């Protein structure tokens, strides 16, 4: 089966349980099982090639080759081991969870989360590209968050999930940095390339930063000291999750990564001390804490921390033998720890408590569970004939070889490990049967105990016949980890070695230590020590407080303050840039100033000053500001921009109408609120900004262009390529048609947003305020005067004709879709103004929304048509056509695009203004059904226009 | 002539910035419009000032730079959309909140004496 498919199957399958939960819990569990099973079978099909022949299966697709990010997969021994654990133990967990979860737990969600997590894990171990690996790595953090917080109603579950996400997520961020550095050093992000660059990487000056960052990711994920604290809090998850995440998958991801990069990162003193040291500390610390935990799952959680430390230590030692031991212990730990978690889950499920102090004597009540739990716990303790013994022996031997002190500390860890393992057996199952269990326990059904039982069979099989069962497998995986051929002889009996003696000491002292556990526990509880959760919470709270106070200080809700600061900063930067450079005056010849220009300049200056000084009188300032708009259009006329002048003029009209409509419902005057000092301050900011922009404009205007303009290309190809003489229009609809398409889309969206906002306004408090609205100013008695109605009716066909004319000639002379759209919109607006909203709206056949979408669609289809014809998107062509009775005209296919522009502009402008008019109706304006208030045909007195 | 245009751009910018720093919505909308004029003319002027040379093939012996004009043409239309949206927002907040002040005071906070 394709590797990509194996990685994708869980993700695809994740859709099923969520959807199929309505068909029942069995269906839900079955499809999950089938999905995982299929992936598992697909994986096993590669076994002969990968394990049998020791080969590597690769597969790759390009994704973003420019970034070095490719979907490359690789399956070697190491990947095969992890994928087998993830999918194999996954199958057992799926079965177990079916019977573990209660009827009230949403099982569909559970299996969906589980499959997402599974897919992410499989992705990590099959990735050949470290960027791809990072993506899957982050996905495991996210999906494990969902799993750990599965019981959303429990605060511990939510807190545990948050803590796990924070710690592993931050580690993941560090790892991204490390991986990027590693890829830069190696010159490739593909693992198989990186793995061959040991000398290059270790001699690089960036080796240490890369190592530290990558180890941050691995240590947080694998709960190594000092990041071990999140793992016990993740125990608030349902037991199947704990069994899965903390035996075979999530916490093993960090180990996987260290094993994967072992060939290029290990062997240096830095690696030895950091990885070996963290592993050793974690191993002993976890074992000691585990002995004093009364919660079965907490005991197992700290034991997991300890065993992860053990494996990290082995990887840190940097010898081939230790790496092989690490591989072997990964297998063994996964088998016995998953079984133990499931046992703890069964006890919890049946006795309704996991507190060791409330348990004891379950041996007689739950014989099956007792057998399973004991086999697994003896393996954890490292007792002969169980698989844990073999790898622990190898660990002791490896530490013994590494140095006396390593050996001594490792033995201490082993002592505690024996003690807590026996405590798990003795204090839970042995002793007298009690009569005060929260719930009377008995063995569960087959469905719950079969999964751990299968694992126990593995524990025994590997423990008794290690070389026959997994000998070759361990050799293959260890060879894949180290990159050299490794042959380890796995056997129960190696003779009386130092490791055997250390092991014997550990068992003997461990059992003695356990007998003192009850006495030591109160001392342990009273001993002062840092409480990880309290520290974590304090750090998080202080970070949140700091963020809030920083945000509040910068962002106090006063928009005028932000704008002021923003402007001042920009001006300051510009000033700094100016005084940092060398200034020479411009040399471009200036145009002479004629009297007309001077007059217009004076008008503009007066208008600008007027608006600024009289802005409190809103109507007046609105009229005055439109003078500025007119002078701007005159500027465009003067300086050879007829298209711009037309556009500015028409937009000016529409804008003023819009502002007038809005002002009708706003206060008509602005009160004096700011102190004179503040106004002076704002004035200084404004003058600085204006002076700066003006000076910049002058500097540009008095210089020639320093680079050749790209316009030469546009001018040269306007007719031959775009089929038009009006270069501006050809640029809009042809050369930069893509831009224009985006712009009309934005305009259309603005129209629709305005419509939606008004829709919201017509409900809620705004609507009530409108209904009680009283006009502040006297209203005209004759709102729809005869003269205006007649004039606009006459003007309508003329204006429409002008619009069509401007549209058609736009490609060759000033005009085009934008201007034509505005002209037509104004013509239609005049009808609204003359005869009122209701009358006009009743005669409007096409919804403006429809115009907008038609316009955008026409523009898009014009582009697609070019693609269908085999050209690039929006390529245009032109030809002379003759449509009777018209003259022969030069028509470009871009005209169809321009039609889209035209329709969108009409639709958006009309929708914006018509929406505003709807407010008026809500505010109690008269709804007129006749075109005029006064009907000239009626001889009698005028009727009341407010009739409805 | 260039000096006059530069002064006009500067004046409109200053007026626009000043109005945008006011404390009610309507002056801010006016300021936005004013700033729009300034920016549009500024971009247009980056094509340099040329009289009597419209960017139409065959209309005059020389031709001004058409590209800034194309940019400004769409900018004018888009800025209408933006002004319209701002006005509706201003209107909506006034009708919903009963005030057209723009600086929000947090609940329980004293109004800033400087405002």
Q: Would you say A921 and A838 are in contact if contact means Cβ atoms under 8 Å apart?
A: yes
The backbone torsions φ and ψ at residue A233, rounded to the nearest 5 degrees and listed phi first, read -75, -20
Q: What is the mean pLDDT of residues A272-290?
A: 92
Burial of A321 (0-12, 13-18, 19+ CB in 10 A): middle
Least confident of A323-327, A342-346, A779-783, B77-81: A779-783
Using an 8 Å Cβ cutoff, are A265 and A211 in contact? yes
Q: Do B4 and A644 touch (CB under 8 A)?
A: no
Domain tally, chain A: 2
The predicted pLDDT at position A69 comes to: 86
Gap from A827 CA to chain B (nearest CA, Å): 17
A79 assigned to some structural domain = no
Write the burial class of residue A273 (CB in 10 Å: 0-12 exposed, 13-18 middle, 19+ buried).
Answer: exposed
Nearest chain A Cα distance for residue B33, angstroms: 8
- The per-residue pLDDT of chain B, averaged, comes to 87
User: What integer pLDDT is reported at residue B115 of this predicted model?
Assistant: 41
The encoded tokens of residue A92 equal: 């057992």
Given an 8 Å threshold on Cβ–Cβ distance, is B84 in contact with A697? no
Distance from CA of B107 to the nearest CA of A (A): 12
Chain B residues touching A758 at Cβ < 8 A:
88, 92
Contact B14 A690 (CB under 8 A): yes
Q: Note whether A658 and B67 are within 8 A (CB).
A: no
Is the per-residue pLDDT at B106 higher than 80? Answer: no
Q: Nearest-CA distance from A716 to chain B in Å?
A: 10
Q: Which residues in chain A are contacts of B57 at CB distance < 8 A?
A: 715, 718-719, 725-727
**What pLDDT, on the 0 to 100 scale, is given for residue A88?**
94
Nearest CA in chain A to B26: A618
H-helix or E-strand spanning residue B76: helix B66-97
Q: Does A728 touch chain B (CB under 8 A)?
A: yes
Residue A717 CB neighbour total at 10 angstroms: 14
pLDDT in tens, A818-854: 999 999 999 999 988 888 888 888 888 888 999 999 9
Shortest CB distance from A635 goes to which of B41, B50, B90? B41
Q: Do A686 and B41 touch (CB under 8 A)?
A: no
Q: Which of A469, A488, A515 is the last residue of a domain?
A: A515
Contact A768, B97 (CB under 8 A): no
Asked if residue A325 is part of any domain, the answer here is yes
Cβ atoms of residues A306 and A456 within 8 Å = no
Classify residue A657: in a domain, yes or no: no
Instruction: Name the strand (E) or helix (H) holding A62.
Output: strand A57-64
State residue B112's pLDDT score.
46
Question: How high is the mean pLDDT of chain A?
Answer: 88
In the structure encoding, which two tokens stand for residue A934, read together? 């006064």
Chain B environment of A671 (Cβ under 8 Å)? 24
| A-B contacts at Cβ under 8 angstroms | 323
Nearest to A603 by CA among A633, A625, A627, A637: A627
Q: Does A814 touch chain B (CB under 8 A)?
A: yes
pLDDT for residue A10: 93
Q: Give the nearest partner residue to A615 out of B9, B30, B63, using CB atoms.
A: B30
Residue ending a domain, among A515, A530, A545, is: A515
3-state secondary structure of A355: strand
pTM to 2 decimal places: 0.69
Does the beta carbon of A708 lie under 8 angstroms from any beta carbon of chain B? no
> A-chain residues within 8 Å CB-CB of B104?
557-558
A944 has pLDDT over 60: no
- Please tell me the distance from the alpha carbon of residue A108 to that of residue B110, in angstroms, as a whole number: 51
pLDDT at B107: 56
- How close, in Å, is residue B111 to chain A by CA atoms? 11
A307 in Cβ contact with A231 (< 8 Å): no
**Is residue A148, in this structure, part of any structural domain at all?**
no
Q: What average pLDDT does this structure show over A768-778?
A: 79
A250 lies in some domain: no
Q: How confident is the model at residue B17 (pLDDT cuts 50, 70, 90)?
A: very high
Cβ distance A674 to B115 less than 8 Å, yes or no, reads yes
Q: Which two tokens stand for residue A801?
A: 């004709």
- Contact residues for A900 (Cβ-Cβ < 8 A; gap 6+): A744, A817, A854, A855, A856, A857, A858, A859, A860, A862
Q: How confident is the model at residue A938 (pLDDT cuts 50, 70, 90)?
A: low
Q: With beta carbons under 8 A apart, name residues in chain A contacting B69.
A: 641, 643-644, 728
Residue with tokens 């309508």: A796
A2, pLDDT greater than 50:
yes
d(CA A252, CA A264): 20
Mean pLDDT, to the nearest integer, of A404-415?
90
Q: Which residue has the higher pLDDT, A381 or A776?
A: A381
Q: For residue A921, is it within any domain?
A: yes
Q: Do B85 and A750 touch (CB under 8 A)?
A: yes
Q: Quick check: B80 and A604 CB within 8 A?
A: no
What's residue A945's pLDDT?
52
- Does A7 lie at the interface with B, CB-CB under 8 angstroms? no
Q: For the segment A557-575, what is each residue's pLDDT rounded down to a tens digit?
A: 778 888 899 999 999 999 9
Neighbours of B59 (CB within 10 A): 17
Q: How far apart are CA A359 and CA A14, in angstroms?
A: 38
A870-916 pLDDT tens trace: 777 777 777 777 766 767 766 777 788 899 999 999 999 999 988 88
ipTM of the complex: 0.92
Q: What is the mean pLDDT of residues B40-58?
A: 90
Res A246: pLDDT: 87
pLDDT band at A358 (very low <50, low <70, confident <90, very high): confident
Q: How many CA atoms lie within 13 A of B60 on its CB side?
A: 14
* The domain boundary residue, chosen from A515, A537, A563: A515
Domain that holds residue A777: 729-948
Q: Is the pLDDT of residue A948 over 50?
A: no
Least confidently predicted of A319-328, A526-535, B79-88 = A526-535
Is A613 within 8 Å of chain B by CB? no
């Amino acid at each position: 089966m394709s590797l990509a498919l194996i990685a994708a199957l869980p993700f695809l399958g994740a859709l099923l349980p969520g959807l199929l939960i309505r068909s029942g819990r069995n269906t839900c569990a079955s499809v999950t099982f089938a999905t995982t099973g299929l992936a598992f079978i697909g994986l096993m099909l590669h076994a002969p090639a990968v394990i049998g022949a020791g080969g590597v299966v690769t597969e790759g697709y390009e994704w973003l080759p420019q970034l070095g990010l490719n979907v490359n997969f690789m399956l070697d021994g190491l990947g095969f081991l992890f994928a087998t654990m993830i999918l194999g133990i996954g199958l057992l967990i799926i079965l177990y969870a079916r019977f573990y979860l209660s009827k009230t737990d949403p099982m569909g969600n559970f299996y969906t989360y589980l499959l997402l997590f599974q897919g992410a894990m499989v992705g990590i171990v099959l990735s050949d590209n470290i960027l791809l690996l990072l993506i899957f790595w982050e996905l495991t953090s996210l999906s494990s968050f969902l799993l750990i917080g599965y019981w959303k109603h429990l605060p511990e579950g939510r807190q545990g999930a948050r803590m796990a996400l924070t710690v592993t997520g931050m580690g993941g961020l560090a790892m991204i940095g490390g991986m990027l550095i590693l890829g830069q050093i190696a010159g490739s992000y593909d693992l198989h390339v990186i793995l061959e660059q040991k000398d290059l990487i270790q001699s690089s000056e960036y080796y240490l930063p890369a190592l530290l960052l990558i180890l941050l990711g691995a240590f947080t994920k694998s709960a190594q000291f000092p990041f071990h604290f999140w793992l016990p809090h993740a125990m608030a998850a349902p037991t199947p999750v704990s069994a899965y995440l903390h035996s075979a998958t999530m916490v093993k991801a960090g180990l996987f990564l260290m094993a994967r990069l072992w060939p290029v990162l290990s062997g240096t003193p830095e690696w030895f001390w950091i990885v070996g040291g963290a592993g050793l500390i974690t191993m002993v610390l976890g074992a000691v804490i585990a002995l004093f935990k009364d919660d079965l799952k907490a005991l197992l959680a700290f034991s997991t921390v300890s065993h992860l430390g053990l494996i990290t230590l082995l990887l840190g030692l940097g010898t081939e033998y230790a790496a092989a031991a690490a591989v072997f212990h990964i297998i063994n730990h996964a088998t016995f720890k998953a079984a133990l978690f499931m046992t703890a889950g069964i006890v919890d499920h049946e006795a309704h408590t996991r507190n060791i102090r409330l348990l004891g004597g379950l041996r007689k009540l739950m014989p099956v569970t007792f057998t399973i739990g004991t086999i697994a716990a003896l393996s954890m303790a490292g007792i002969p004939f169980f698989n844990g013994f073999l790898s622990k022996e190898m660990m002791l031997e490896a530490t013994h070889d590494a140095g006396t002190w390593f050996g001594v500390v490792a033995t201490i860890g082993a002592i505690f490990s024996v003690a807590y393992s026996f405590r798990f057996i003795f204090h839970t199952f042995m002793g007298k049967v009690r009569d005060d269990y929260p719930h009377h326990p008995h063995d569960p059904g087959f469905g719950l105990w079969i999964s751990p039982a299968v694992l126990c069979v593995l524990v025994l099989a590997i423990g008794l016949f290690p070389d026959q069962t997994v000998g070759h497998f361990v050799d293959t995986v260890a060879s894949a980890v180290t990159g050299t051929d490794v042959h380890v002889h796995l056997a129960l009996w190696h003779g009386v070695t130092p490791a055997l003696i250390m092991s014997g000491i550990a068992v003997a002292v461990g059992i003695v230590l356990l007998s003192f556990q009850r006495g030591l526990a109160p001392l342990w509880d009273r001993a002062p020590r840092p409480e990880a959760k309290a520290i974590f919470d304090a750090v998080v709270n202080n970070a949140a407080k700091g963020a809030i106070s920083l945000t509040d200080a910068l962002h106090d809700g006063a928009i005028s303050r932000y704008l002021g600061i923003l402007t001042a900063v920009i001006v300051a930067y510009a000033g700094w840039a100016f005084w940092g450079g060398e200034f020479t005056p411009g040399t471009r010849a200036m145009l002479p100033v004629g009297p007309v220009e001077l007059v217009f300049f004076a008008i503009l200056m007066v208008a600008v000053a007027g608006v600024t000084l009289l802005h409190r009188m809103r109507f007046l300032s609105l009229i005055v500001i439109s003078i500025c708009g007119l002078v701007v259009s005159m500027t465009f006329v003067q300086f050879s921009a007829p298209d711009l002048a037309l556009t500015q003029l028409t937009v000016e009209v529409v804008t003023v109408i819009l502002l007038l409509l809005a002002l009708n419902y706003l206060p008509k005057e602005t009160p004096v609120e700011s102190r004179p000092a503040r106004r002076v301050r704002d004035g200084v900011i404004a003058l600085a900004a204006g002076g700066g922009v003006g000076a910049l404009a002058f500097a540009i205007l008095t210089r020639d262009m320093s680079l050749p303009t790209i316009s030469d290309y546009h001018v040269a190809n306007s007719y031959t390529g775009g089929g038009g003489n009006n270069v501006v229009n050809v640029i809009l609809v042809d050369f930069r048609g893509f831009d224009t398409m985006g712009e009309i889309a934005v305009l259309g969206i603005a129209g629709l947003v305005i419509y939606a906002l008004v829709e919201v306004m017509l409900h809620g408090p705004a609507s009530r305020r409108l209904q009680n609205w009283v006009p502040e100013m006297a209203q005209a008695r004759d709102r729809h005067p005869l003269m205006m109605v007649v004039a606009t009716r006459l003007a309508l066909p003329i204006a429409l004709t002008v619009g069509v004319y401007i549209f058609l000639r736009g490609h060759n002379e000033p005009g085009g879709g934008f201007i034509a759209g505005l002209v037509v919109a104004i013509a239609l607006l005049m009808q609204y103004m003359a005869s009122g909203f209701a009358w006009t709206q009743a005669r409007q056949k096409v919804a403006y929304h429809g115009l907008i979408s038609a316009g955008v669609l026409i523009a898009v289809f014009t582009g697609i048509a070019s693609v269908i014809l085999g050209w690039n998107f929006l390529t245009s062509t032109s030809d002379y056509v003759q449509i009777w009775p018209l003259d022969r005209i030069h028509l470009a296919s871009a005209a169809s695009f321009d039609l889209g522009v035209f329709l969108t502009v009409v639709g958006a402008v009309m929708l914006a203004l018509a929406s505003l008019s709807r407010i008026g109706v809500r505010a109690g304006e008269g709804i007129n059904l006749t075109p005029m208030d006064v009907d000239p045909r009626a001889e009698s007195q005028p009727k009341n226009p407010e009739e409805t | 002539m260039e000096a006059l245009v530069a002064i006009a751009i500067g004046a409109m910018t200053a007026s626009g910035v000043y109005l945008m720093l006011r404390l009610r919505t309507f002056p801010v909308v006016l300021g936005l419009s004013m700033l729009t004029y300034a920016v549009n003319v500024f971009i247009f002027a980056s094509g340099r000032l040329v009289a009597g040379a419209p960017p139409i093939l065959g209309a005059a012996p020389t031709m001004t730079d058409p590209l800034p004009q194309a940019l400004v043409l769409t900018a004018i239309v888009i800025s209408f959309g933006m002004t319209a949206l701002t006005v509706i927002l201003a209107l909506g907040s006034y009708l919903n909140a009963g005030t057209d002040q723009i600086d929000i005071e947090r609940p329980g906070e004293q109004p800033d004496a400087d405002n």
